Chain A
Amino acid sequence: MSEHNTHDESDGIDAARRDFLKGLGAATAVGVTGFGLGQQSEMQSLEIVDDPIGSYPYRDWEDLYREEWDWDSKARSTHSVNCTGSCSWQVYVRNGQVWREEQAGDYPRFDESLPDPNPRGCQKGACYSDYVNADQRILHPLKRVGERGEGQWQRISWDEALTEIAEEVIDTVRAEEYDAISGFTPIPAMSPVSFASGSRLVNLLGGVSHSFYDWYSDLPPGQPITWGTQTDNAESADWYNSDYIIAWGSNINVTRIPDAKYFLEAAYNGTKRVGIFTDYSQTAIHTDEWISPEPGTDTALALGMARVIVDEGLYDEAHLKEQTDMPLLVREDTGKFLRVSDVPGLSTSADRPDQMFVMQDQQGSLRVAPGSLGERDGQYDPSESISLDFDPQLSVEGTVQTTDGSAQVRTVWNNLNDELANYTPEYIYEETGVGEQTHQEIAREFAEAEKAKIIHGKGVNDWYHNDLGNRAIQLLVTLTGNLGEQGTGLDHYVGQEKIWTFKGWKSLSFPTGSVRGVPTTLWTYFHAGILDNTDPDTAAKIRESIEKGWMPLYPSERDDGTRPDPSVLFVWRGNYFNQAKGNVALEEELWPKLDLVVDINFRMDSTAMNADIVLPAASHYEKHDLSMTDMHTYVHPFTPAVDPLGESKTDWAIFRELAAKIQELATEREIEPVPDRKFDREIDLTSVYDDYVRDWQTGEDGALAEDKAAAEYILEHSEESNPSDTDEQLTFDEIDEEPKRLLATGDHWTSDIEDGEAYTPWKRYVHDKEPWPTFTGRQQYYIDHDWFLELDEALPTHKQAPVLQEKSEYPLGYNTPHGRWSIHSTWRDNTKMLRLQRGEPIVYLNPEDAAKRGIEDGDTVKVYNDLAEVEVQAKIYPSSEPGTVRHFFAWERFQYPDRQNFNSLVPMYMKPTQLVQYPEDTGEHLHFFPNYWGPTGVNSDVRVEVEKVDGGGGNQGGDGQ
């Protein structure tokens, strides 16, 4: 359409426009839906604009948008999702409704040489307001009237809902089956008051609290194994301090959006950034070198790199001697560490010489290694030291006279050298596909960098042999002494394992101090009947672990040898049903065992859809709470921008009112207290509300009735916000004004928070020489547990995963990575987010794999294996390796035509080495503790096949069109 643009050269195009305004025939325009005669005649009377560039006279209309930029009030809040973001937002309220949100952007800076910490946030947080007023918002208590999952509900009153739940609880406790009551809620750091709300009631009822960090396979088992610690990470600002960063299976740019800046800007600060990903990922695109190992071969790659560092003498010898078990002697005959008690004449003042270990000094004398468990008071004992007053030999091979004859001994270092010798450059290329030169060069660069860091993620943590992979990758930072300094370390950012304000949170959540914690992986595995279908060796080990009490399982076995089924499940702040591995078994076996499933939620998720009673929870913009993350060292609050919508209530109010209803009915019925079969306490339902709202520290009745008081309780009783050695203290109102940096660290951290520095872990061990909380008191790469020796895993080694599906039948590796568009299942169903995807679940396929199967982009395909099949849309992704299928995580069951989901294809499988106690008899180093040590719910070894669905030539509308 150029007619109205024609003009004569002398007058320029203004002439053309003026001509047009005189009414020339614009209706000849092509491709524009025409305008009628009325409009043309209107134009003839339009006032003329001489030149719209710079001198437009009719600008009053601009107030239109100025008026849109207006609000009545703002409140500070954030998002209580299982996310490490912990981003402070301002919520804008207009006409009594939440209008929008924007990052608060006011985290105070603590180090001017680092990038500004603001603003933290992401696209999901930027539209949480949609959920506040959304269709999926739950506004009233609902009771299921159809089958579970059908979406048939009856609206009931709060009183009816609470009465029904309370009666079930009372009956269960009276029948002494209180350990059949389970509470599942993940991640306290994202909203500790809301976490504590239900946990506190479950604890008072004698019920079971579920682990989550191990269940979601976020826990890297290699860290408790090697470092005796649940994980401790540098805050993300510290990335900028590194000279060399390897992002290993950690898709920062997708899963750590608020932190990505530190990685991205490091490029302009002289840092080399290496990405190790099996696809050319969204983080790989912003690296300086990308390495692409075959899926599941990271352990081999890491050990190959370790071999280079050892062979070429690039290791930090002083660090290895002082901080690790490398110089410790190991007996060749038993595979066990040589104990001081094994060696006649070797003396120690330690209480338990059988838990003390031996080194050899340069003069060839045997020496007692200080700081081992035998002289410590428990796992962590800062009063002891690992500092050496002799120089041990790293390499020793010889004979020692022991109490039972002579024994050949070698150091851990010798054994490690033997193991590493297997990982030749040729082998590394064959096994991993990474070039012989390239992996060696990366290893050298990493070792030679002044400050090198590994950012370790879920991509390497979801494999069956994740413990071996963790240990192998950890070895790289240990060999090079990259620990305990800014810019160094191995930062494992997967989920949120712990909370800064630990003590306040813990005593709020579990006031009795007697906690029935359970490893959720084992609980699910057992009650979903999977044990019966497990290979006999593994099943025997699982049973042995349960029998020996290494791993607890509830309901506990009764005196008559029976074990009841779980019966009541509360789920809040999480989506257990959707997110469970072994999803098919969970639905078919475990779920029918439950008499009552209560879901407390602001939105209908798959767990709510499959619950019996759904209680409407306040949204994140309608409550008081706290927010923290180990990605940063600040604390900031949730405050209500508006009142809870409809009949919804805060989590705290819901469980408080349930406690009140239980107390009311129990009192009416004169229910006697029930003695707890495990702990020295009685479960008294007639005081459960009084106990709920009482401050157990001060004894003040009714003090904790409101969520804000509970938040203040946490701040008051935590070392991080109320340090014991100063008058400084963080209060709720202060952090509402502006996020505040935490003041100190309790003993669940491994360094202090220091002014002007990003938090970096491990200083208490590396600098202060406190014993590492391991058996040996050192970073421990050799584990002499019987099961580890039996399975040939005393040292990190590369092993093939068990075969779950035959490759011949299911040729494609199946992976469910965390995506950009949701935090787990939250936002999966959000219209704004879906419009920026394809509106429905998709799988990423390599073009070659797709072509082989006659699949084109946009086709409907079924992805299947021996467990299930799911119908989704194919998306062609040239950056994936042939032979792999990526089905991003956490689509809800109701987004699939047959109500299966991404987890339907994933079996549950547990690895015996993660069910142990170590030492076997006392367990100080490895013992079950929720989210610290327990079997991880891995999921990456799964295989599938993909097929085009007939007639599935594209997206089928949800209404069947």
Chain B
Amino acid sequence: MSSQSDGGGSDTPEGVDLAEGIDHQVAMVMDLNKCIGCQTCTIACKTNWTEGGGRDYMYWNNVETRPGSGYPKDWEEMGGGWKSEEHAERQPGQLPEKEEYGRAWEFNHEQIFYEGSDEPLRPMDGAEWGPNWDEDQGAGEYPNSYYFYLPRICNHCTHPSCVEACPRSALYKREEDGIVLVDQDRCRGYRYCVEGCPYKKVYYNSVTKNSEKCIFCYPRIEGEGPEGEVRAPSCAEDCPPQLRLVGFLDDEDGPIYKLVNEYEVAVRLHPEYRTEPNVYYIPPFAPPQHSERGESLDSERIPRNYLEELFGPEVNEALNTIERERAKVERGEESEVMDLLTTENPAKQYRLEVFDEE
């Protein structure tokens, strides 16, 4: 593969880099101003794909409170990704310890309910960390503390370092949509991919001895299933506030292209890992800080430098644009950005069949 792609085809719109050999790239925009940390996405994903069989501890989709350590704990400090924009040399990474994920706790329901145990219903073998351990904690001091929620799936990166890490080439990126998968036949569970992914979105299954990861619900977007209906990934479709837009990055008429490339209000998480994620975020705004006399101040609550750490310097212009666009609608003017972020027209939320004619 080339280190710098010019796009997958002559039709690729301006500003969109597809990995070489990829016809189209699925993508998601998640609006953090609509994320309420309810984890319906997490559960929807889990009931679809990761129940039992060594998968219980896995959260292909998880939601983290930020600032926070996340899941697995302190994943941002574990390396992975690429050393440079050339995507030539991978950044070394670490494999998370079991404790950094937390075990999928089991509970003693039966003994308590039916066998007269006087133990409390609590995780057997104790609990030290879990996928949402630091929920709602954030940082700062009352009344100027701050936190927000960050949902995460596999980014189905344009330059996936997990794919490069696999010595067996058991991970690959699909030609038709850029989804990154672990071949469950070919994988032998070496876990180089787990180590190589800077987002720690590949998981090792100690029962099957395979690594597994988010599959962008490809059976759903392909229209598999008894009803033959094309459906968005369940994390998106089941999201109560509908904070996710799903489509193709190279769909010039779609909302994702507009939010990412035209208005530049959707930004990547940790762009410095250089894997070029295809999940983008509308960065969060928050109510202003309070003075010691209980007055609302004209100062931002979430420190910009923290947001820059997460989303890179692009976050500043994104937030400024959002503020400008919000002011417009407050004055009664039209704003395409605001329209794109509301669900007045749900038909635009998921554009998964735009390239079907090809």
Contacts and interface: CB of A to CB of B under 8 A. Distances in A.
Nearest to B37: A282
Interface stretch (A348-356, A872-880, A934-942): A872-880
B43 A69 contact: no
Interface string A706-719: 00000000000000
Interface stretch (A255-263, A574-582, A592-600): A255-263
Interface in B176-201: 181, 183-186, 188-192, 195
A126 B44 contact: yes
B36 A839 contact: no
Interface in A324-347: none
B296 A69 contact: no
A385 interface: no
A840 B147 CA distance: 23
Nearest to B302: A285
B283 interface: no
Contact of A29 (B40, B109, B192): B192
A48 B172 CA distance: 13
A895 interface: yes
B268 interface: no
Given A69-B48, A261-B343, A435-B293, A876 B137 contact: yes
A436 B293 CA distance: 8
Contacts of A13: 88-90, 164
Contacts of B257: none
Contact of A288 (B105, B166, B287, B339): B287
Contacts of A876: 137
A261 B168 contact: no
B79 to A, nearest CB: 10
Contacts of A60: 185
B148 interface: yes
A381 interface: no
A-side interface mostly: loop
B295 A896 contact: no
A127 B43 contact: yes
Contacts of B343: 115-116, 261, 265
A113 interface: yes
Interface residues of B, number: 131
Contact of A32 (B49, B190, B287): B190
B295 A437 contact: yes
Interface in B8-49: 19-22, 33-34, 36-40, 42-44, 46-49
Contacts of B173: 52-54, 56
Contacts of A838: 127, 130, 133
A834 interface: yes
A958 B37 contact: no
Contact of B108 (A58, A879, A882, A958): A958
A2 B121 contact: no
B303 interface: no
B294 A435 contact: yes
B75 to A, nearest CB: 14
Nearest to B222: A66
Given A26-B190, A834-B123, A119 B167 contact: no
A275 B135 CA distance: 20
A248 to B, nearest CB: 15
Interface in A859-910: 875-882, 892, 894-897, 899
A46 B326 contact: no
B-side interface mostly: loop
B334 to A, nearest CB: 11
A881 B89 contact: no
B3 A12 contact: yes
A945 B42 CA distance: 36
Given A4-B167, A17-B167, A289-B296, A839 B130 contact: yes
A840 B123 contact: yes
Given A119-B240, A151-B113, A878 B137 contact: yes
Interface stretch (B138-146, B248-256, B273-281): B138-146
A894 B219 contact: no
Interface in B251-304: 284, 286-288, 290-291, 293-296
A120 interface: yes
Interface string A57-79: 01111101110111110000000
A282 B47 CA distance: 25
A243 to B, nearest CB: 9
B110 interface: yes
A32 B195 contact: yes
A403 interface: no
B238 A121 contact: yes
| Residue from A46, A429, A892 with most neighbouring chain B CB atoms (10 Å) | A46
A424 interface: no
A129 to B, nearest CB: 7
Given A14-B1, A58-B186, A280-B145, 11 more contacts: A68-B48, A126-B238, A136-B109, A253-B36, A435-B290, A831-B106, A839-B127, A858-B128, A880-B142, A896-B120, A899-B118
5 smallest beta-carbon distances between A and B, as pairs: A54-B21, A435-B295, A958-B122, A56-B172, A52-B172
7 contacts: A9-B88, A54-B21, A55-B21, A113-B344, A123-B38, A284-B287, A839-B122
